[in-house]
Amino acid sequence: MLAWNLGATTEIWTGYAADAQIRFAGSSGGVLTALSLFCLEQLGMEFVLHTGKDAEKPWLNTTVQSTSREQLLSHAGSRYAPSSPCDGLALVESSPGPCVFIGKPCDVAAVDRLRKQRPKLDRNLGLVLTFFLRRHSKHTRDT
């Protein structure tokens, strides 16, 4: 049962990636990675702007561009450290075609506001994805 207020919600579905490698590489079923790969391979989108491990300091995050299954798989999973995928939005804006953006809910809220002012960014955001990120209070703990 959902124990917190979701706000306006059209539908809630549960599921996981049908591709076993993606399913088990993903944080909770690999749906974000699977949808992103579909956009690259089936819809011909340019790249996925998302978050991965910083090569120099692996305990930190960095914003990454993925254009292949291998790259998407290497960045699958949740990274519990600060991230800033919006710092790569200029790459989306200057891209020759539509892209996928994956970010925290606050990143997606920022993208939603910015795209209203930037027509090229708006046009190039082919799919914007986020995940649940529950606010902590004395009554809730992260899962």
The stretch among 2-10, 23-31, 37-45, 110-118 that binds ligand FAD (CB under 6 A) is 23-31
Secondary structure class of 99 (helix, strand, coil): strand
Give whichever of 34 and 121 is closer to ligand FAD, judged by the CB atom.
34
**# residues near ligand FAD by CB under 6 A:** 29
For residue 60, CA distances in Å to 20, 52, 63 come to 28, 9, 10
CB 93 within 8 A of CB 118: yes
- Asked if 37 is part of the footprint of ligand FAD (rule: CB under 6 A), the reply reads no
Nearest distance from C-beta of residue 10 to ligand FAD, angstroms: 18
Which of these, 72, 22, 66, lies nearest to 48 by C-alpha position?
Answer: 66
- Which residue's entry shows tokens 């996928």? 100
- Chosen residue from 38, 71, 74, 79 binding ligand FAD by CB under 6 A: 79
- Chosen residue from 132, 137, 138, 139 binding ligand FAD by CB under 6 A: 132
Give whichever of 35 and 118 is closer to ligand FAD, judged by the CB atom.
35
Query: Which sign, positive or negative, has the C-alpha torsion 96, 109, 34, 43?
Result: negative
The stretch among 86-94, 96-104, 108-116, 117-125 that binds ligand FAD (CB under 6 A) is 96-104
